[in-house]
């Protein structure tokens, strides 16, 4: 396996390769790295995007996809985008919170009341503004992918109410919002990379984690965490990003082709996601996992102080209000 250093060195050649391809045979090649398995609906959505881009551009553009952290972790992929050595990646919006402040609202617990509300916001001018908020940090958003709602899963006892989290070490993403949420509920938030989580659960480094059903099942975490409590505390989308250093090398026509393909892939991925959620829960339950549906209201109530703390932030307060206004269809 290539070392991280060698991998990054090779990727530094990508921009040069991009230009040489364009001069030689008029094909612009974009490399896309991400951490999900090929069986994941988000990966399949990106494959669809690549296929559509080839069609729309009449073969003048191509996306090569490297899943399963072949090119590094989410954080490493983001850093590669920032220096222009990788063109495109997919990360959780929670990770983007450290780069662009407006992403923080997407990570707040219970900010969305339904799937329809989530899609209404992400497909609106609000979603577009958030996607563009990372440009200052060389990270331009292309689209949001459905990543469902996140819930708790644990090894030794089920979570029926927030009090059940007391004393438990819960793996969270490297997101201040995720850390604050778990802490508000009484748990001990423990940031650990996704690739290390199975071993951390198995070895008792953490007592549980939180994620959506497909991630819980496809990662095989159900083998060591036998309780899945669907409290759906957050609905954090995945975000598809392109390096602005690469974006700015594309012609206006190429930019249009890429954006069109990315937008089309969203609807395709959303359909796959719904089926993936259903299948994942069925398979986890068949494997002996206890699926719990706790009352959500105690979880909603206990995190309200997090919203009070944000009232002094005018930008985030305005975004929160605009998102809440979208809870009713126009």
| CATH code: domain of residue 14 | 3.40.190.170
154 shares its domain with 242: no
Kindly state the average pLDDT of the residues 132-154.
97
Residue 175 pLDDT level (bands cut at 50, 70, 90): confident
- Count the Cβ atoms, other than its own, within 10 Å of residue 329: 7
The better pLDDT of the pair 20, 15 is held by 15
- Tokens standing for residue 188: 């001990």
In a domain, 73, yes or no: yes
154 shares its domain with 256: no
183 shares its domain with 86: no
pLDDT tens-digit map of 75-97: 899 999 999 999 999 999 998 99
Whether 122 shows a pLDDT value over 90: the answer reads yes
In a domain, 131, yes or no: yes
β-strand partners of 150: 234
Residue 319: closest CA among 125, 141, 182, 179: 125
Cα dihedral value 276, 279, 280, 281, nearest 10: 130
Whether 170 shows a pLDDT value over 50: the answer reads yes
Kindly state the average pLDDT of the residues 226-238.
98
Considering its fold, how many domains does the chain have in total? Answer: 2
135 shares its domain with 68: yes
**pLDDT score recorded for residue 98:** 86
**pLDDT score recorded for residue 22:** 47
In a domain, 137, yes or no: yes
175 shares its domain with 312: yes
- Among 8-17, 23-32, 48-57, the range of highest mean pLDDT: 48-57
**pLDDT score recorded for residue 323:** 98
108 shares its domain with 203: no
**pLDDT score recorded for residue 114:** 96
**pLDDT score recorded for residue 23:** 43
- Tokens standing for residue 26: 């008029």
Across all residues in the chain, what is the average pLDDT? 92
Domain range enclosing 20: 4-147+236-278
313 shares its domain with 169: yes
- Tokens standing for residue 275: 């089926």
Kindly state the average pLDDT of the residues 289-307.
98
In a domain, 265, yes or no: yes
Whether 12 shows a pLDDT value over 60: the answer reads no
**Which percentage of the chain shows pLDDT scores above 90?**
85
169 shares its domain with 297: yes
90 shares its domain with 161: no
Whether 25 shows a pLDDT value over 80: the answer reads no
155 shares its domain with 12: no
CA distances (Å), origin 152, targets 58, 95, 165, 221, 299: 45, 19, 9, 12, 12
269 shares its domain with 205: no
User: CA–CA separation, 179 vs 157, rounded Å?
Assistant: 21
**pLDDT score recorded for residue 20:** 32
318 shares its domain with 242: no
In a domain, 330, yes or no: no
- Tokens standing for residue 181: 């949420």
Whether 197 shows a pLDDT value over 70: the answer reads yes
In a domain, 156, yes or no: yes
- Tokens standing for residue 63: 């996306």
In a domain, 138, yes or no: yes
**pLDDT score recorded for residue 174:** 84
């Amino acid at each position: 396996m290539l070392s991280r250093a060698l991998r990054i060195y090779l990727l530094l050649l990508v921009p040069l390769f991009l230009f040489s391809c364009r001069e030689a045979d008029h094909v612009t090649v974009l490399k896309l790295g991400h951490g999900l398995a090929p069986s994941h609906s988000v990966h399949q959505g990106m494959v669809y995007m690549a296929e559509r881009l080839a069609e729309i551009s009449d073969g003048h553009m191509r996306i090569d996809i490297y899943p399963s952290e072949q090119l590094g972790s989410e954080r490493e992929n983001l850093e590669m985008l920032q220096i222009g050595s990788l063109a495109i990646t997919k990360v959780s919006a929670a990770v983007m919170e450290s780069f662009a402040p407006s992403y923080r609202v997407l990570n707040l617990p219970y900010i969305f009341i339904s799937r329809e509300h989530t899609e209404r916001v992400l497909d609106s001018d609000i979603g577009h503004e958030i996607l563009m908020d990372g440009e200052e940090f060389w990270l331009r958003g292309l689209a949001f992918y459905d990543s469902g709602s996140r819930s708790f899963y644990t090894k030794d006892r089920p979570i029926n109410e927030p009090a059940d989290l007391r004393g438990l070490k819960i793996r969270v993403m490297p997101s201040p919002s995720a850390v604050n949420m778990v802490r508000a509920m009484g748990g001990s938030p423990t940031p650990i990379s996704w690739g290390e989580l199975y071993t951390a659960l198995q070895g008792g480094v953490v007592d549980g984690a939180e994620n959506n059903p497909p991630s819980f099942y496809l990662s095989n975490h159900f083998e060591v965490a036998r309780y899945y409590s669907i409290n759906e505390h957050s609905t954090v989308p995945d975000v598809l990003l392109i390096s602005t250093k690469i974006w700015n090398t594309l012609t206006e026509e190429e930019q249009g082709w890429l954006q069109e393909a990315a937008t089309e892939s969203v609807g395709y991925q959303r359909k796959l996601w719904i089926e993936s959620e259903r299948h994942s829960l069925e398979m986890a339950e068949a494997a002996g996992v206890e699926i719990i549906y706790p009352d959500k209201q105690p979880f909603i109530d206990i995190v309200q102080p997090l919203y009070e703390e944000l009232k002094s932030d005018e930008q985030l307060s305005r975004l929160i209000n605009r998102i809440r206004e979208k809870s009713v269809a126009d």
